[in-house]
Amino acid sequence: MKLIASLTSPYARKVRVVLAEKHIDCELEVDIPWNEDSHVPDYNPLGKIPVLLLDDGTALYDSRVIVEYLDHASPVGRMLPKESHSRILVKRWEALADGICDAAAAIFIEKKRAQTQQNSEWIIRQERKIFRGLETLAKDLGEKPWCMEAGFTLADIATGCALGYLDLRFAEIKWREAHPNLARLSAKLGSRVSFSSTAPQT
Ligand SMILES: N[C@@H](CCC(=O)N[C@@H](CS)C(=O)NCC(=O)O)C(=O)O
């Protein structure tokens, strides 16, 4: 099994954290999808990472499909609850956390364009998604130790990866001050080897 990923992608980090939490050995191939010589489109027609290459040659994407596959592949440390209502709630956390990353990545890419070509209204629209998303994450977390009552799940992993991505690309967003409960969650996640060993590298 081989994971094709970059070392900054929050979606790939989510997969890498799940691999570490579940003690699944997996080769890592670093491939930057923005590079001209990237092989990512050979495996994923959308040209996006992460891609998980299975031993039989099947290419799995995107990150939500991959983490679900991995959760089934090993019973160690279940990341998705079996019970359907809890499972859907975890997947909603993941959708929101990934959506914050989508908006942040979109701004990051837009800001790479020449300033005269940047669409400020569109950037503001993406920023609003981030701020509303953070508010909802914080409201849903409340004073619980983990996102879900039952304990550590994929919801915490997805949230931690999204917050880590904001730190990487938008250090000016002071989410820790606005949402101390998310700061507590992030610090707790950062003390896990799965998170410290996958911290974004530029
Ligand atoms: N929904 C996808 C998002 C993946 C994604 O957008 N990855 C970015 C890297 S962080 C990418 O490969 N972008 C290249 C492109 O959009 O062409 C997932 O969860 O895997």
Output the domain CATH number for residue 19: 3.40.30.10
Greatest distance between any 2 Cα atoms in the chain = 52
Block means of pLDDT (10 residues each) for the chain, 202 residues, are: 98 98 97 97 98 98 98 95 97 98 98 96 98 98 97 98 98 97 98 98 88
| Residues with C-beta less than 6 Å from any ligand 1 atom | 9, 11, 33, 47-50, 62-64, 98, 105
pLDDT of residue 33: 97
Whether residue 28 is found in the same domain as residue 7: yes
- The answer to the question of residue 33 being in a domain is yes
Which residue from 16, 29, 48, 169 has its CB within 8 A of the most atoms of ligand 1, so it is best to mutate? 48
Whether residue 60 is found in the same domain as residue 18: yes
Which residue's C-alpha comes closest to atom 2 of ligand 1?
A: 62
What letter would DSSP give residue 80?
A: S
The neighbouring-strand residues paired with 7 are: none
Residues in the chain, total: 202
d(C-alpha 199, C-alpha 164), whole Å: 8
Beta strands in the chain (DSSP E): 2-5, 27-30, 51-53, 59-60
Task: Determine the 3-state secondary structure of 101 from DSSP.
Answer: helix
Domain range enclosing 43: 2-73
Contact 7, 201 (CB under 8 A): yes
